[in-house]
Amino acid sequence: MSNSTWRAPFIVIEGLDRSGKTTQTANLYSRLQDEGIQTSLHKFPDRTTAIGQMINAYLCSTSELDDRAVHLLFSANRWELASTIEKTVSARTPVICDRYAFSGIAFSAAKVHSGNGQPLLPFEWCRAPDVGLPAPDLVLFFDITPEQAKARGGYGDERYEKEEMQVRVREMYRRIGEEMGAGDAPGKTKWVVIDAGREREVVQEEVWNLVSPLVKRGIEGPLRRLWV
Ligand code: Z5A
């Protein structure tokens, strides 16, 4: 990163439950540290803030919230951190996020009416509150079948950890990825599908080969906005 127009990248790891996001994010973080690259790591939902605690109570089913209200809370939880992300990459520290706006759309748009199985919230409605958030430079989408995910110790007790929900979420992610495109044009988010059903070490190497050149080279130009 040679002059003042250069900044660090903003990288997001997305995917289904149990796809290994937390495992690989932690690995990436420590590998970057080992190379002397300080990195800022975030996870959404960020359950440490007041909004995050409301989300946590909902996910753990200790509180009930309207589906629209909780969707807006997830988005607000990201907006809480938006300016920090912007400042951090401008200060040339890479930002890595475990889940982001794509989770917000995929999980809410995958909800259906219990009676007739019809979508509860329109896709465009789900995207609207996140329009204008800092846009990642790279999204690594960890693809895994719900069956493979289930085999990794089964789903836990949180609200969305059910196989039929995960099937619909995967379909939503496919739609989001298609709409994002491959993103090879300069200044566009690059969306890369990672086969997360493979051995940890294999996934780890692929992630490293995609992330490390970007982090070492940096990005020219300001952070863009999502979907504007
Ligand atoms: N949500 C939402 O609705 N709206 C939003 O806007 C956002 C989120 C941001 C909580 O998310 C829920 O919030 C989530 C989406 C919704 N609901 N669901 N489902 P979270 O991120 O806090 O929780 P999570 O995604 O469920 O995290 P997770 O279960 O920890 O999954 P993970 O991070 O992808 O996987 P992991 O912890 O790294 O690995 C899971 C297990 O598999 C573990 O035992 C590992 O040792 C093992 N593992 C990992 N990699 C491998 C490989 N390669 N092979 C074999 N085993 C492996």
Q: How does pLDDT run along the chain (228 residues), one tens digit per residue?
A: 556 789 999 999 999 999 999 999 999 999 999 999 999 999 999 999 999 999 999 999 999 999 999 999 999 999 999 999 999 999 999 999 999 999 999 999 999 998 899 999 999 999 999 999 999 999 999 999 988 998 887 677 788 888 899 999 999 999 999 998 765 666 689 999 999 999 999 999 999 999 999 999 999 999 999 999
- For residue 104 and ligand 1, the question of a CB distance below 6 A is answered with yes
Ligand 1 midpoint to CA 99 (Å): 9
- For residue 19 and ligand 1, the question of a CB distance below 6 A is answered with yes
Q: In order of start, what are the domains of the chain with their CATH numbers?
A: 6-218 (3.40.50.300)
> What pLDDT is attached to residue 94?
98
> What pLDDT is attached to residue 187?
67
Question: Measuring CA to CA, how many Å separate 169 from each of 66, 164, 190?
Answer: 19, 9, 20
Which residue matches tokens 């690989």? Answer: 24
> What pLDDT is attached to residue 1?
57
Question: ipTM of this predicted complex?
Answer: 0.96
Q: Which amino acid is at 127?
A: R
Q: Is the pTM of this model over 0.80?
A: yes
DSSP structure class, residue 38: -
- For residue 161 and ligand 1, the question of a CB distance below 6 A is answered with yes
Task: Transcribe 98-150 into DSSP letters.
Answer: ES-HHHHHHHHHT-B-TTT--BSS-HHHHHGGGTTSBPPSEEEEEE--HHHHH
> What pLDDT is attached to residue 156?
74
> What pLDDT is attached to residue 42?
98
In tens, the pLDDT along 81-138 reads: 999 999 999 999 999 999 999 999 999 999 999 889 999 999 999 999 999 999 999 9
Mutate to test the pocket of ligand 1, among 16, 17, 199 (most ligand atoms within 8 A of CB): 17
CA-to-CA distance for 16 and 5, rounded, in angstroms?
35
Query: Which ligand 1 atom sits closest to the C-alpha of 198?
Result: 53
74: left (phi over 0), alpha (psi -120 to 50) or beta: alpha
